[in-house]
A and B are shown apart, each in its own frame.
Chain A
Amino acid sequence: MIIPGQGPREATASCWSCGTMRAVHFCSSCGKVQPPVPVDYFSFFGFPRKLNLDAAALEKEFYALSRRLHPDLFAQANPEERAFSLEQSSMLNDAYRTLKDPIKRTEYLLRLEGVELEEQSKQATEKARATGELKKQVVPPDLLEEVFELNMHLEELRTQKKMGEDDPALLEEIGKAKLSLEEKYDALFSELKAEWNQWDKSVDDGTEEDRRKILGKILDVLNRRNYVRNLVRDVNEALE
């Protein structure tokens, strides 16, 4: 029913006000604010489509563009410019929100490149619970055994809770498993960053085939990471 995201399209247009070919947000000739064209978030900021991103530079650019695009600056302008400013600054904010978060940024890049993420979000879980549908869950092979054991423990804990019992040994087991998962979660982020470097390099001098391969690896890391995140969440919920 809902298909998220939006593919990039080429952006060229001329200024609505003076007709000259324009820069991305303002007419290079008369300086008027322009309607947004559907560029991707990287292009919106004038950044290459790379995953290592200088957070300070991004913030600086965000503030600078905010000072020129925010609707507050157009409160006395004509309705057309007000509408452009509203659209431009909403896109600026959406882009900044997406790019400043490393995971959102990575997921966004995958979607831009036409790779669909698996539905392992909390929402998907809730949705599946509510509708009784079976959720697509791919257990990463290296976690199979650990997950199997953990799920048994969690089931036991839930039963005990219902009976009003308390088993310190079981809690300790689960606590240990949780710690190990959290370590894994951090390790996966490091793994992801290594893939970022691969990707950024391939943007400069890799082949299309290289890039596809790296995207596949990134997807794999993200899926495993999401899976671990959901497990940690389940453990926390059971421990509450």
Chain B
Amino acid sequence: MASDYIVGIDLGTTNSLVAYMQGDSPVVIPGEDGLNLVPSVVALDENNQVIVGNAARRYLIETPERAVYSIKRLMGRGLEDIQDELKLFPFQLAEDLQPGEVLRIKIGERTYTPPEISALVLRQLKRNAERFFGAPVSQAVITVPAYFNDAQRQATKDAGRIAGLNVLRLVNEPTAASLAYGLDKNKHGIVVVYDLGGGTFDISILKLHDGIFEVIATNGDTHLGGDDIDNLLIAIALDDIRGDLGLDFRRDARNSGEAVQRVRQAVIEAKIALSSQPMAKLDVDLPGGHKYRREISLEAFEQMIQPIIDRTVGPCKQALKDAGLKPEQIDEVVLVGGSTRIPKVRRLVQDLFGRVPHTDLNPDEVVALGAAVQANILGGGSEITKEMLLLDVTPLSLGIEVAGGVTDKIILRNSTVPASATQYYTTQVDGQTNIAIHVLQGERELARDCRSLARFDLKGVPPMPAGMPRIEVKFLIDANGILRVSAREQRSGKEAEIDVQPSYGLTDEQVENMLLESFDYAEEDFRQRQVIEARREADTILTALAKGKKNPAWQELTSEERRNIDTLEKALLAVKDGDDYHAIREAIDALNQATMHLAELMMDTAVSTALKGKAMNDTDLEEGPQAGHPVAKADFE
């Protein structure tokens, strides 16, 4: 079931969105609840049904052990990387987790890898889009923080595949934002995108020129965002609670989940309030009938968060330096991410770049909108995007470990992607047939301080005296910022075989297994959902028709019209409870067509209230037949 819809997805730490290009402008596709933002929260209900988004949020409070949030922080990371995260977030690791294994997180009785949890969020977005289009969606552009490393990007791509999406491109979030920003205007000049989201910070400097969006430099911190502000405020509140009430919830965030989650909710609300008010109240009902109340002034808040937001300064300065630019050479500063609503953050950006940042874009939506623009470009483009081309860079240097544990950098950070490098290797011992190669990502001089991406074994090198073989290894970073490797022994002309073992992440086989399970389910699910929605629509029109028949207008129809309607009504009744979506659909359309005149007459005689202006999902049946097809609310999961 291929479809032509390519959607753009912002898979955020806190919220996720799906958007597409409607004519000349990108628009966000709302969820069933009518809201654009889908909280990146996944929960399992008492029947182990997966709940995603706003509906999952209440589980965070009621049964925190059955819900998980901010999973993006764990994408592409190993057990040893996440010790800090474990102190601050109530992630529960699977008990049987082995060192070196891909992380698995417990939700209720089940365990999931971070890409699977992200895939559940993606699947929800996919469904929202499918519901909106009334057609399956299988292709997407997904955004990632610009400063994501190879493992984090790979994990995101895996999540897409597990969700049944062909990920056409991973786009860096600030770059996506610049696409949305530069869409409607013929923009030229140097643009800085400052993106402080829920869990990640990115800074990107771009040169806009005749529709080319060329990233000159990027920098960031993949563990810096609104979450950090929340955690700081939570820690202060828990301290307070211990002092005032003698209750200690701090020792183990995981065992006092409910209390911590209530405090978390309250500090988030206070943080948001402080973006527009000088004072906010914390008012928390703790378990056991205790109450915690406190006021926070804007001044105190700004003082508390200063050290956190100051951490964005270093990456900004480095990016400017790498770009070879001074702040006064910047033409425009664009703010992205919910945390840029904080007035203190805006002042910091203004001071850094010496200009008032551009704020007329919705910082929560602009990344998804830009992803939709990129999706449109990849789909062949339209009038407005046909001149647009994005030239992005790799955020981190790529290197190889050489003698002495030193990193030999072979592709430097801020190189435009795709980028490649060729290195030649030889053997150190006579007759050696294997060569081990360790690929690293990062800026540090020593291999142990860089991110280990993969270890390769070049196998099948023909036995020769030491130093004789000449093996060409080609490293290629694709447009997604993901590394590919190939190798060839030049003297024998033999393709040396490469075994890539991702240091962190799922093997293709693992992804394949996860994919098959959920993909079968998703396809089946979509078909069933279509049938359910069609049935519901059939019920709506049949009920409306029953009412219409009691209306005086019914008598005004010719007997032939009435007979025709009766026949089509019976036809719909006959197929409605079957599983043939198309049969139901056709019967509905036919009946709709036939009752059009009846609806008009009912309007004319003013027996019914106005039929105009009915909301798409309004299933109120008091109004008689509706001219359009009412789209019923679906109730899957």
By a beta-carbon cutoff of 8 Å, the part of chain A in contact with chain B is 1-4, 6, 63, 66-67, 70-73, 75-76, 86-87, 89-91, 93-94, 96-97, 123, 126-127, 130-131
Contacts and interface: CB of A to CB of B under 8 A. Distances in A.
B404 A1 contact: no
Contact of B404 (A4, A91, A97, A130): A130
A70 B211 CA distance: 14
A67 B209 CA distance: 12
Given A1-B426, A3-B424, A93-B418, A127 B402 contact: yes
A75 B476 contact: no
B419 interface: yes
Contacts of B426: 1
Interface string B441-477: 0000110000000000000000000000010000011
Contacts of B478: 71, 86
B318 interface: no
B465 to A, nearest CB: 15
B485 to A, nearest CB: 13
Interface stretch (B66-74, B271-279, B373-381): B373-381
Of listed B169, B209, B424, B477, residue having the most chain A CB within 10 A: B424
A237 to B, nearest CB: 13
B168 interface: yes
Contacts of A123: 406, 408-409
Given A1-B425, A123-B408, A127-B406, A97 B415 contact: yes
Contacts of A72: 169, 374, 377-378, 389-390, 479
A94 B420 contact: yes
Interface string B409-434: 10000011111111111101000000
Question: B interface, by DSSP: helix, strand, loop or mixed?
Answer: strand
A63 to B, nearest CB: 5
Contact size range, B? 35 or more
B404 A75 contact: no
Nearest to B375: A75
B446 A75 contact: no
Nearest to B435: A1
Contacts of A93: 415-419
A131 B404 contact: yes
Given A2-B423, A2-B425, A75-B169, A70 B417 contact: no
Contacts of A71: 418, 478-479
Given A93-B416, A123-B409, A75 B210 contact: no
B445 A126 contact: yes
A2 B408 contact: yes
B403 interface: yes
B405 A130 contact: yes
Given A63-B209, A70-B389, A72-B389, A1 B402 contact: yes
A37 B399 CA distance: 25
Given A2-B423, A72-B374, A93-B416, 12 more contacts: A1-B403, A1-B425, A2-B402, A72-B389, A73-B389, A90-B477, A123-B406, A127-B403, A127-B406, A130-B404, A130-B405, A130-B406
Contact of A131 (B209, B380, B403, B409): B403
B160 to A, nearest CB: 15
Contacts of B380: 76
B402 A90 contact: no
A75 B379 CA distance: 7
A102 B357 CA distance: 35
Contacts of A1: 402-403, 425-426, 428
A3 B564 CA distance: 83
B496 to A, nearest CB: 16
Given A2-B423, A127-B402, A66 B479 contact: no
B546 to A, nearest CB: 49
A165 to B, nearest CB: 29
18 contacts: A1-B402, A2-B400, A2-B402, A2-B408, A2-B425, A4-B423, A6-B422, A63-B209, A66-B389, A72-B479, A75-B378, A90-B476, A93-B419, A94-B420, A126-B445, A127-B403, A130-B404, A130-B406
B391 interface: yes
A123 B446 CA distance: 11
A33 to B, nearest CB: 14
Contacts of A90: 417-420, 476-477
Nearest to A126: B445
A66 B419 contact: no
Contacts of B400: 2
B587 to A, nearest CB: 36
A63 B374 CA distance: 18
Contact of B168 (A73, A75, A86, A130): A75
Given A3-B424, A91-B420, A93-B416, A86 B479 contact: yes
B268 interface: no
Contacts of B168: 75
Contact of A2 (B377, B391, B424, B445): B424
B389 A96 contact: no
